[in-house]
Amino acid sequence: MRILLVEDDRMIGEAVAVALKDAAYAVDWVHDGAEANRVLEQGEHQAVLLDLGLPRRDGLEVLRRMRQAGNNVPVIVITARDSVEDRIKGLDYGADDYLVKPFDVNELLARLRAVARRRGGQAAPLLSNGLVSLDPATREARCGDVVESLSAREFALLQALLLRPGAILTRAELEERIYGWNEEVESNAVDFLIHGVRRKLGAEVIKNVRGAGWMVAKLVANLATESDEGKRTE
């Protein structure tokens, strides 16, 4: 999952960026509001961590422009503005969550996981398609009786697929979710990660769609229901 961090305080930004990378997120960091809006127009990110007191353009203005442009990427405001009025304004402008500084990075990560689940259509703490489940808090994956710890990038890859079960993600789309701007991507990196996940959990976990990309199956329960309904209408 690729995160845009918008924060002008270098000390806070570095601490948050390190915590995100340690938690298997790809992170891109910008330091002012005008640059944030420019980057957000490219549509490369799955979530935004947004400070409000930014140079060149205030964070609320960044948020307002995003939503007016139809950009629905999840936004968590991270700010020192702690008044009730500021919180109401941030949420009314379109923020998905609001966290006041100073905060514990573990709380930030938990809120980020919750936002990602909601946007993926899942309220449960585990991401699952009925065949394989993934715990974002521990990076453990389960398939049947097999439980394995994934590397940071194996986790990022499987998370990207499980957030959109049934959707085919191309190599470029997976790379965007796994790697940040300044990280070198080898030509066979995605293949290597998929091989690692399959070796740990089984070849059936990730399906290859020749010439298109990779996917995980839609929710198994839903597929069974659709199959039963199809038989009843034949």
Mean pLDDT score across all residues of the chain:
88
Are 101 and 8 part of one and the same domain? yes
Reported as a single tens digit per residue, the pLDDT across 173-211 is 999 888 887 777 777 899 999 999 999 999 999 999 998
The CB-based long-range contact list for 176-184 (8 Å cut-off, 24+ gap) reads 176/2, 176/26, 176/44, 177/1, 177/2, 177/26, 177/46, 178/2, 178/26, 178/153, 179/2, 179/26, 180/2, 180/26, 180/27, 180/28, 181/28, 183/26
pLDDT tops 50 at residue 12: yes
Of 25-29, 143-147, 186-190, 221-225, the least confident: 221-225
Q: Is residue 231 part of a domain?
A: no
pLDDT of residue 220: 54
Task: Work out the pLDDT band at 60, boundaries 50, 70, 90.
Answer: very high
pLDDT of residue 227: 42
Q: Structure pTM? A: 0.72
Q: Is residue 229 part of a domain?
A: no
Are 198 and 89 part of one and the same domain? no
Q: Is residue 230 part of a domain?
A: no
Higher model confidence: residue 229 or residue 153?
A: 153
Q: How many folded domains does the chain comprise?
A: 2
Given a contact cutoff of 8 angstroms between Cβ atoms, the answer to whether 201 and 141 are in contact is: yes
Choosing from 79, 100, 119, the residue where a domain stops is: 119
Q: Is residue 234 part of a domain?
A: no
pLDDT of residue 179: 85
Higher model confidence: residue 229 or residue 87?
A: 87
Choosing from 85, 119, 153, the residue where a domain stops is: 119
Are 93 and 136 part of one and the same domain? no
Choosing from 67, 96, 119, the residue where a domain stops is: 119
Residues whose CB falls within 8 Å of the CB of residue 139, separated by 6 or more in sequence, listed in order: 24, 149, 150, 152, 155
Reported as a single tens digit per residue, the pLDDT across 109-157 is 999 988 887 776 665 678 888 889 999 888 899 999 999 999 989 999 9
- Residue 112 belongs to domain with CATH number: 3.40.50.2300
Q: Which domain holds residue 179?
A: 127-224
Are 91 and 163 part of one and the same domain? no
Are 19 and 112 part of one and the same domain? yes
- Residue 145 belongs to domain with CATH number: 1.10.10.10
pLDDT of residue 7: 97
Q: Is residue 232 part of a domain?
A: no
